[in-house]
Amino acid sequence: MLKLVIKDLKLFFTDTRALALTFAVPISLITLFAYAFGGAGRSKHEVRPMQLTVVDEDKTDASKNTIAKLDSLKEFEVMQTTLDTAEKLVMKGDEAAIFVFHKGFNDSLSAGKKPFIEVKYDAAKETEVSILTGSLTGSLMGFIGNKFAAANTIKKFDADYPDMDSGMRAGIHAQILRQYSAGDKKDAPKEAFITATPLVAEKENSPGLIQAVSGTAIMMLLFAVVGVGTSMLDEKQEGTLKKLLYSPISPNKILFGKMIYANAVAIFQLTIMFLYAKLVFGLDIFHHLPALVLMILATAYACSSFGVLLASFSKTRQQVQGFSTLIILVMSCIGGSMIPVFIMPDLMRKMAVFSVNYWGIQGFYDIFWRMFPITNTTFLSRILVLLLIGTGMNAIATMMFRKNILNIAE
Amino acid sequence: MISVSNLAKNYGAVQALKGISFDIRKGEFYGLLGPNGAGKTTTISIMSTIVKPGGGSVSIAGNDLLTNPIACKKAIGVVPQEIALYNDLSAYDNLMFWGSLYNVPKPELRSRIDGTLKLFGLYDRRNDKIKTYSGGMKRRINIASALLHHPQVLFFDEPTVGIDPQSRNLIYEVIEKLHNDGITIVYTTHYMEEAERFCDRIGIMDNGQIIAQGTLDELKATAAMKEAIIVTFSNLTDEYLERVCAFWKDLKHTGSVFHFYSSSAKKDLSAIIVQCNDIGLDISNIEIQKTNLETIFLSLTGKQLRD
């Protein structure tokens, strides 16, 4: 028995490619998950700054100072923009929420009224929005809470003692202001600071279901199309590719035939996945059927091209299987198939755009959550990106395959 | 039917073909023989359009290979050495697929498939998957798939390697039938008996060149071959050796086995036996090695065909 074990260990360590993949796959995933869920890459007490998209419509010293103070905190990374742009970011799914300092912020604050700050958010990302809002409210308390509380106290005092001598009243006002500026009292109600308005409201399709269906479907599709791509390598190994080349069919036609086959399998698989989600979980797939069909076609095209591309760089089926596991898992991780992109750190969100998964998943969110019509430019831009990815990968795969095919008999 | 002129091909620094030329007539059975690395596969690969020549020209059925490869592909059928079939498809589906690549109309293709399956004795198993077939049966389907578009020229690359005698005989019968039907056949093989049995003409290749070609008789004449009378003695001594060498100059010996070379073994056999008896040598074995393709090949290349 020990001899068998030793023999198998010898074989295992001889296959350096398998050995590398045995460790490379889990190490890559551990690294990505560690970054995604936070903690990795930072010192123990370091806080990862949260992106805070802010719109200043008040444009007073008070609003500017408050935003500047927020930006100076290590918890936040403030980005200022216009209301229109900010709302589009939420609608497109690029931001979970935006914070608007409305006109009259300073006046309300000075008058002891509720300061006019509004969070506009995507209801699909309520968890992220709650964390952000809670954290922001705490910080705002430090900056404007005293001023708000002082104004509120003075207002109450004036109401209670309307007939007081103006000189005495001024003295008491000054004393109240001094006390609050010294930080003695911070009793302004937290909920008074921020009002919340969903820009993308809760819909019939839950975001969790959309995430589960689109994320998993795309990841599994990638595995499936790699298998399809490798059928070209099987043909090469079994001699049928050479025999095809004896026939009057051009090498390009052989390759395009494979690509169309990979596409057909991908379209079929995605369609079945969404039909299953409809039948079992009630995902409303018929709401924007033309958009869904277009998205399935574009995603299938990009994913199948990926499978063909991977096969074109490899010499054997075994090579493809090894590398595809690593690449697909990493791509699925950063692209949002395993973890929703909005809970990832900023760097990983930036990396997400390099994966097919990201564009596919966001496209399906556009259809099922954001309810974009087929003519929506954001939706169409995702379709365009998927088509460009597919075309680019197909072009490279064509060159590689032609080179390999021409080498078959050499 | 086929005209090859000054055909050359280099793989890096290696000259696989050094400007070979030959013509094959319509309906002719042409054998291409040579040891491994002689350039046979490169020649066949170029003629079957999957390798580009480095120089020279090839014409098949009146079509230039470089300027009109599609017409050449339509004119040829290739039976590769490896069994190139889809194991998970039935024999019928395999044949349907390979035949459809040549745009044979479907009803006609179905009829041809049925006929071909009957010819190869596999009609009853037409719906079985290829993976359930024996090696010999697979090889028969492999050949059948190259015949469905009725090619004018057939390239066979060692079609009988590693198969059972029954399948081999069946394949021989089909090959003879195809030859009788007037199809031009280019055949590579390691089996001399196949070449001697089928080939009208034979080209012998070595080191990227055709070193001899012609009918078997022409090759014998080219090689100026002598027959050998091989005699084994049971009581050979040094004294006997001197006396044998004295009465027959053209000989070689290894131990007690002597090769007496003669232009007519039949004529000289009795003289050699008489001389040996007169000396007092006891003959334990005699055999005559006639000139055949094997000996011609050895004589021309200095190598066994399987080297």
pLDDT one-digit tens code per residue, A277-313: 888 888 888 878 899 999 999 999 999 898 888 878 7
**A131 pLDDT exceeds 70?**
yes
User: Between residues B144 and A183, which one has the greater pLDDT?
Assistant: B144
**A50 pLDDT exceeds 60?**
yes
The shortest C-alpha distance from A17 to chain B (Å) reads 29
Q: Which residue, among A234, A242, A247, would best test binding to B if mutated, counting the most B CBs under 10 Å from its CB?
A: A247
A409 chain-B contacts, CB cut-off 8 A: 45, 50-51
3-state percent breakdown (helix, strand, coil) of chain B, nearest 5: 40, 30, 35
Task: Read off the pLDDT of each residue in B37-48 and give the average, rounded to a whole number.
Answer: 88
Candidate ranges A140-149, B22-31, B258-267; pick with highest mean pLDDT? B22-31
Residues B114 and B149: beta-carbon distance below 8 Å: no
pTM: 0.69
Query: Dihedral of CA A159/A161/A164/A169: which sign?
Result: negative
Contact with chain B for residue A350, Cβ under 8 A = no
Q: What are phi and psi of A409, to 5 degrees?
A: -100, 0
> How far apart, in whole angstroms, are the C-alpha atoms of residue B58 and residue B68?
11
Residue spans per domain, chain B: 2-221, 226-290
What is the structure's pLDDT at A191? Answer: 47
Under DSSP, the state recorded for A48 is P
Q: What are phi and psi of A395, to 5 degrees?
A: -65, -45
DSSP A274-327: HHHHHHHH---TTTTHHHHHHHHHHHHHHHHHHHHHHHHT-SSHHHHHHHHHHH
Which of residues 241 through 260 in chain A touch B, CB cutoff 8 A? Answer: 242-249
**Percentage of chain A surpassing pLDDT 70?**
85
Which residues partner with A342 through β-bridges?
A: none
Q: Do the Cβ atoms of B83 and A239 come within 8 Å?
A: yes
Contact with chain B for residue A167, Cβ under 8 A = no
**B221 pLDDT exceeds 60?**
yes
The shortest C-alpha distance from B192 to chain A (Å) reads 26
Contact with chain B for residue A240, Cβ under 8 A = yes
The closest CB to that of B102, out of A238, A245, A247, belongs to A247
Residues near A71 by Cβ (< 8 Å), separated by ≥ 6?
A77, A78
pLDDT digits (tens, 9 = 90+) for A335-346: 888 878 777 777
Candidate ranges A2-11, A113-122, B189-198; pick with highest mean pLDDT? B189-198
Residues A77 and A52: beta-carbon distance below 8 Å: yes
Q: Which of A399-403, B56-60, B63-67 has the lowest mean pLDDT?
A: A399-403
Residues B275 and B248: beta-carbon distance below 8 Å: yes
What is the structure's pLDDT at B96? Answer: 93
Task: Read off the pLDDT of each residue in A26-39 and give the average, rounded to a whole number.
Answer: 69
The shortest C-alpha distance from B215 to chain A (Å) reads 29
Distance, CA of A72 to chain centre: 26
The C-alpha angle with vertex B34 and arms to B31 and B36, in degrees rounded to 5, equals 130
Q: What is the CATH number of domain B2-221?
A: 3.40.50.300
Same fold, B2-221 and B226-290: no
How confident is the prediction for chain A on average, in pLDDT? 80
> How far apart, in whole angstroms, are the C-alpha atoms of residue A170 and residue A24?
72
Strand, helix or coil for residue A223: helix
Q: Which CATH class is domain B226-290?
A: alpha beta
Q: Do the Cβ atoms of A240 and B51 come within 8 Å?
A: no
A240 chain-B contacts, CB cut-off 8 A: 84-86
B48 chain-A contacts, CB cut-off 8 A: 246
How confident is the prediction for chain B on average, in pLDDT? 86
Q: Do the Cβ atoms of B80 and A245 come within 8 Å?
A: no
| Position A112 confidence tier, pLDDT thresholds 50, 70, 90 | low
What is the structure's pLDDT at B197? Answer: 86
Closest chain B residue to A243, measured at CA: B84
Token pair recorded at residue B274: 């008489």
Strand, helix or coil for residue A117: strand
Q: Which domains does chain A have, with CATH numbers?
A: 50-200 (3.40.1710), 207-407 (no CATH)
**B114 pLDDT exceeds 90?**
yes
**B220 pLDDT exceeds 90?**
no
| Position A18 confidence tier, pLDDT thresholds 50, 70, 90 | low
Q: Which of A47-61, A137-151, B61-75 has the lowest mean pLDDT?
A: A137-151
Residues near A285 by Cβ (< 8 Å), separated by ≥ 6?
A274, A275, A277, A278, A292, A368
A247 chain-B contacts, CB cut-off 8 A: 73, 98, 101-102
pLDDT digits (tens, 9 = 90+) for A253-284: 888 888 888 888 889 989 998 999 888 888 88
ipTM: 0.79
> How far apart, in whole angstroms, are the C-alpha atoms of residue A344 and residue A329?
16
User: Between residues B1 and A183, which one has the greater pLDDT?
Assistant: B1
What is the structure's pLDDT at A185? Answer: 47
Q: Do the Cβ atoms of B51 and A410 come within 8 Å?
A: yes
Residue whose C-alpha is closest to residue A309's, from A259, A351, A349: A259
**A204 pLDDT exceeds 80?**
no
Q: Which residue, among B14, B43, B50, would best test binding to A if mutated, counting the most A CBs under 10 Å from its CB?
A: B50
User: Between residues B202 and B301, which one has the greater pLDDT?
Assistant: B202
